[in-house]
Amino acid sequence: MKNGLGIIIALEGGVMEARFESALPRIHSIVGTKKTGALFEVIERKNDTTIRAIALSGHEGVERGEKVLHVSSSFSVQLGDAMLGRMFDVFGNPIDGKPFKGSLHSIYGSSQSKRMESQKRHTEIVETGIKIFDLLTPLRTGSKIGFFGGAGVGKTVLVAELIHNIALKKLGYSVFAGIGERIREGNDLYYTLDKLGVLGNAALYFGEMDKPPGVRARVGLSAVTACEFLREKNQDVFLFIDNIFRYAMAGMEIGAMLGKVPSELGYQATLDRDLALLEERITADGHKAITSIQAVYVPADDLTDPAVVAIFSHLDASLVLSRAVAEKGIYPAVDVLRSRSLGLDVDMVGKRHFDIASRVKEMFQKYEELSHIIAILGIEELSRDDRIVASRTERLQRFLTQPLFVSEHFNNRKGVYVPLEKTLEGCERILNGEYDTADLRELFMIGALDEVKKNS
């Protein structure tokens, strides 16, 4: 064997073992088969002559005894100034049929010590135009928020809506990482953003569910590397991840393929470390920041799943989407009492915002306590004060629904952007009883409260 040339000695379940006589490839370098062109990432050195690598492409036809070439000393993604408005794979190769030429950047970034030295904490609140989001889980620049929920409760729709609203208000560039999701969803997102006229403000990276776990475990790192590239252009960047749970699942698959001893429920023992590898890259640097919005699939709607719990620990805010709320036709289907944000602090949002949000949560809490009585005996059996609580909570719940731009073609309702001030004003007036006699239907799926005629 020549220098840098190896021979495959084993291949099982997407894990390849290759023997090198000299110049053993470094960890995270890329090797490829000479005959079929299949690509692998070096994960570990088994001994002084043998490496183990995971597949980054289809490896059909790869055989033992086949020669392996040392392709690259690091796993790199291709980035450039013309990346906005485009779709890419994990290597930064375009998948939209258009040419692209850029420079290579390692997806593992610089050393952690350098990143820590340059980090800066921001306190500015980002207005998203989504009422319940801005009210209960204000998003601080440079922070991370998760949309938690099971299948079909609206996580992807909210992600697409935020990409639209951020572009609408020119708050910064958007980078989307599609991890382990359906190919159809990526296609729909691309054409939805194009139709809304905001595609040119975003770069999309995909590692769909049909890709090997090595791709799904790395496409998020490619996307965050793209964010760092754009941030260096002195721009605020928003990183959207759909779905961060699939990132954890890909790590679990890799651990199983490598024969590692799993931890609870089969997750890899390195789950926390794998999540930190991605999450700790989402930071502020100097005057500009990477702000992240992440969809989190909750298996069987179980928020105590080990991967979900591990993801929680990295987030500054969590918006929990409820199947029970969605079944009532309330969208966004937010569970008010289980959603929280570190940004909902009187020093960050101001006393008025904090007080209104606290009163809204208090009202929903009281309504939750009354719900069983209402279900069994009816609202008429409540005391006068409790009837007022129930009435105002139902009006708040309807008012905090909202027609979205990305769902216009589904419900024929024109999307609206609601400024935070209008959200606060509307909630305050409902809490104060000004709309106690308003029909619930008049408050459902509207923007500002100005659209409703107050009854006397």
- 155 classed as catalytic: yes
What pLDDT digit, counting tens, does each position of 339-389 carry?
999 999 999 999 999 999 999 999 999 999 998 888 888 877 888 899 999
Average pLDDT over residues 436-447: 92
Options 127, 161, 181, 228, the catalytic residue: 181
In contact, 167 and 201? CB cutoff 8 Å: yes
Q: How far, in Å, are 125, 424, 434 from residue 354 at the CA level?
A: 13, 10, 20
Looking at residue 455, its pLDDT comes to 46
The per-residue pLDDT of the chain, averaged, comes to: 90
Q: CB within 8 A of 437, min separation 6: which ones?
A: 455, 456
Looking at residue 110, its pLDDT comes to 63
What span, in angstroms and rounded, lies between the C-alpha atoms of 317 and 146? Answer: 6
- 181 classed as catalytic: yes
Options 182, 195, 338, 413, the catalytic residue: 182
Extract the tokens encoding 401. Answer: 């629904």
Q: CB within 8 A of 400, min separation 6: which ones?
A: 131, 132, 135, 334, 427
Per-residue pLDDT at 429 exceeds 70 = yes
Question: Which of 6-10, 121-125, 147-151 is predicted with the least confidence, judged by mean pLDDT?
Answer: 121-125
Looking at residue 338, its pLDDT comes to 94
Domains of the chain: 5-74 (2.40.10.170), 77-346 (3.40.50.300), 351-451 (1.10.1140.10)
Reported confidence tier of residue 183, pLDDT bands at 50, 70, 90: confident
Q: How far, in Å, are 174, 221, 237 from residue 170 at the CA level?
A: 10, 25, 11
What pLDDT digit, counting tens, does each position of 96-135 carry?
999 999 999 999 976 443 455 555 566 789 999 999 999 9
Cα torsion at 86, 89, 90, 91 (round to 10°)? -80
Looking at residue 114, its pLDDT comes to 47
- 338 classed as catalytic: no
Options 52, 140, 155, 218, the catalytic residue: 155
Q: How far, in Å, are 42, 175, 220, 293, 320 from residue 241 at the CA level?
A: 25, 9, 7, 6, 16
Per-residue pLDDT at 435 exceeds 90 = yes
Looking at residue 61, its pLDDT comes to 86
Per-residue HEC secondary structure of the chain comes to: CCCCEEEEEEEECCEEEEEECCCCCCCCCEEEECCCCCEEEEEEECCCCEEEEEECCCCCCCCCCCEEEEEECCCEEEECCCCCCCEECCCCCECCCCCCCCEEEECCCCCHHHHHHHECCCCCEECCCCHHHHHHCCEECCCEEEEEECCCCCHHHHHHHHHHHHHHCCCCEEEEEEECCCHHHHHHHHHHHHHHCCHHHEEEEEECCCCCHHHHCCHHHHHHHHHHHHHCCCCCEEEEEECHHHHHHHHHHHHHHCCCCECHHHCECCHHHHHHHHHCCCCEECCEEEEEEEEEECHHHCCCCHHHHHHHCCCCEEEEECHHHHCCCCCCCECHHHCEECCCCHHHHCHHHHHHHHHHHHHHHHHHHHHHHHHHHCHHHCCHHHHHHHHHHHHHHHHCCCCCHHHHHHHCCCCCCCCHHHHHHHHHHHHCCCCCCCCHHHHCCCCCHHHCCCCC
How crowded is residue 109: how many other Cβ atoms within 10 Å of its Cβ? 16
Work out the percent of the chain whose per-residue pLDDT is above 70. 95
Torsion sign over Cα 344, 349, 353, 354: positive
Extract the tokens encoding 405. Answer: 């731009």
